[in-house]
Structure 1
Amino acid sequence: MVVIAEQWVVYLDAIKKMMATPKGMEIDFRKPQGAPALVPADGVSWQIFANPVSLFIGGVAAVLLELAEPSVRTGVWEHSSFRQDPLSRLHRTGYAAMVTVYAPRHEAERMIGRVVRAHDRVRGKTPDGQDYYANDPRLLDWVHATATWGFTEAYHLYVHQLTAAQRSSAFKEGETAAGLYGASGAPNDWLGWEALLAKTAPTLEDHPIMSEFLDLMETTPLLPKPLRGAQRLLVRAAVSMTPEPVRSLGRLRDRGLRRGETMLVRASGRMASLFPMSALPPLQATKRMQATGEFNAGAAGHS
């Protein structure tokens, strides 16, 4: 038991570092007091995004769906630092998600504006000659929807079961941010997500980059060496939750959870909810909003 407790402390410390503020993205989530975020403080998103385990799992699953789409895959792999510096890339992407959910609205709008301007320069051709443009609303709809699905479903499967209404609410709560990014047709409920998945499914394809991405997620030192097995476990959890038709693609076969491992992932996810960290955005934002009466005390704490 002592060894397990010590490992858990090491694990939480590593998670804390992953969720800390990246250089150049400094934002104070604690003030001004009562300043609303893009996402309502009493919504389900504040609960979902407070759990670092499901955020990691859901983020990996979302990227798998994005890499299955040819235009998104080419843009991500040719115009980002995923290959060269996956740790920094994951750190900045995860923090940007925190800003979108928890930061005062004006800070989130400013960050999204910078992202949109950066994406405006990302354009080119896929290997089969199709033009792509990062700010194409069709691609933005897919990226925004897969991210919302990934974080929500990972929380639902591995932390705390959500109702159908809560899963739909996660999409509705992200509607403002989606619009700011330019995802004008992003789904605003779970049925809309299922419709978009069915519509996009014929274009999704297997590709070696998906294997390369999973290998990076398993081998990049996100967690300390003694916990590298736990890191691989979380990556397998992401593969296991991936929906069809992507789940059946050849490069994902045999990379999901093994017998009995789902319980381990759930234990990890639920344990993370019991140790909220005051130095990180969820609880800092909670303190900002508690005086307004809007905040539900359980939203960014445990389930």
Structure 2
Amino acid sequence: MKLPDDLPSAYRVDFTAPVGEPSLVPPGSMQWRVFKNPIALAIGGVAAVLFEFADARIRSGVWDHSIYKVDPIGRSQRTGVAALVGVFGPQSTARRIIGGVNRMHRKVAGETPKGEAYRALDPELLDWVSATAGYGFLEAYHRFVSPVSAADRASYYRDGEAVARLYGVEHPLTSDADFFAMLDRLYPRFEAHPINREFLDIIMSRKAAPTVPKVLHRSLARASVSLLPQKVRERMELGPEFDLTMGDRLALRLMGKLADKARSKDMPAWQAAERMGLPGNFAWLSSARQEQILSATRGEALA
């Protein structure tokens, strides 16, 4: 995944420098494995937004205070950069961009259509937004790219804690059980709303990613809905028209596996590895080979 060239200056990231500066998330982690795959990020990212939009406080905050509905491409790109820099970027750059996101969130406050006050920095909302992204990306990778073991799922959540804390998250996920416990607490608030459908219409219209074939946008939207538990789908009134077809599954799994093998020197995962003195293709190597390289690197540092 190469970053766009027309990003605002605040979101332009040089993943190659400063040379030697580590990332917040260590190389060889499950986070590196998942975040290098654009299909998992696309499906998981849309699912995360659906989980968030089920709660009127987040839905109103995003729809009323962001430009997503008028500039879905730009909003999606900036959200994507923030996610990638947290995993692959130099720590100093990640802290700068996350700090900027937090400063923008301080300005987001208002009332839902029913008159309930909200603010983006509400700890409950911060925890939920972080949880939906973490779970969404991982579950999309698990279903549409490659199965992830229970031990690797726990490792994935553990390695994401540093980034979550920078966003002000008080209760980062440590397991799937944490996610579903949080979901159950918030579920009474969930509701159907026309904005949920409007968001999915944007995803299916190619506006958010115009270079991707329209048929895949529809498959992506249905795949994202498939990550929602049935009771959430029913509460949000996302009916059979969003059921994942066999054709969807086959196409997305093929795309997911192809994306997992695709690599280039323009990708954040490649550039981050080289910045830290590792082979550019490090993120694509087997876990055993990665550990050999990291062990050798640690040995050289101690010599």
Structure 1 length normalisation: TM-score? Answer: 0.87
1:283 pairs with 2:293 = no
Change (3 A) 1:176 1:101: same
Instruction: Give the Å deviation of 1:21.
Output: 6.7
Q: Could you tell me how far apart the structure 2 residues matched to 1:94 and 1:145 are?
A: 16
Q: 5 Å matches for 1:65-144? A: 65-144=51-130
Q: Cα offset for 1:259?
A: 3.2
Structure 1 residues 224 and 28: alpha-carbon distance in aligned structure 2, compared to 1, 3 A threshold: closer
Residue 23 in 1 paired to residue 3 in 2? no
Q: Which amino acid aligns with 1:197?
A: L
Instruction: Tell me the residue number matched to 1:49.
Output: 35
Match of 2:223 in 1: 237
Conserved? CA contact 1:21–1:95, under 8 Å: no
> Contact (CA 8 Å) 1:66, 1:72: kept in 2 or not?
yes
Cα displacement (A) at 1:232 = 1.5
Deviation at 1:209, TM superposition (A): 0.7
Choose from 185, 188, 191 the match for 1:205: 191
Alignment-mate amino acid for residue 215 of structure 2: G
Q: 1:235 to 1:47 in 2, by over 3 A?
A: same
CA contact (8 A) 2:191 2:236 kept: no
User: Are 1:274 and 2:261 counterparts?
Assistant: yes
Q: d(CA) in 2 for partners of 1:35 and 1:181?
A: 21
CA distance in 2, matches of 1:104, 1:250: 39
Aligned residues: 282
Equivalent-residue separation in structure 1 for 2:80 and 2:155 (angstroms): 21
Does the CA-based 8 Å contact 1:61-1:239 persist in structure 2?
yes
**Once the two structures are aligned, what percentage of the paired residues are identical?**
40
Q: Distance in 1 between matches of 2:47 and 2:219?
A: 13
SS in structure 2 of the partner of residue 249 of structure 1 = helix
The alpha-carbon deviation at position 121 of structure 1 amounts to 0.7
Counterpart position of 2:203: 217
- Post-superposition, which runs of at least 4 consecutive aligned residues in structure 1 deviate over 6 A? none
2:16 and 2:275 in contact (8 A); partners too: yes
| Superposed displacement of residue 100, structure 1 | 0.7
Question: 2: CA distance between counterparts of 1:217 and 1:260?
Answer: 18
Q: Which runs of 5+ in 2 are unaligned?
A: 288-303
Structure 1, unaligned runs of 5 or more: 1-14
Q: Counterparts of 2:206 and 2:275 in 1: how far apart (Å)?
A: 35
Counterpart selection for 1:257 from 232, 244, 250:
244
Distance 2:218 2:175 in 1: 31
CA separation of 1:239 and 1:257: change in aligned 2, threshold 3 A: same
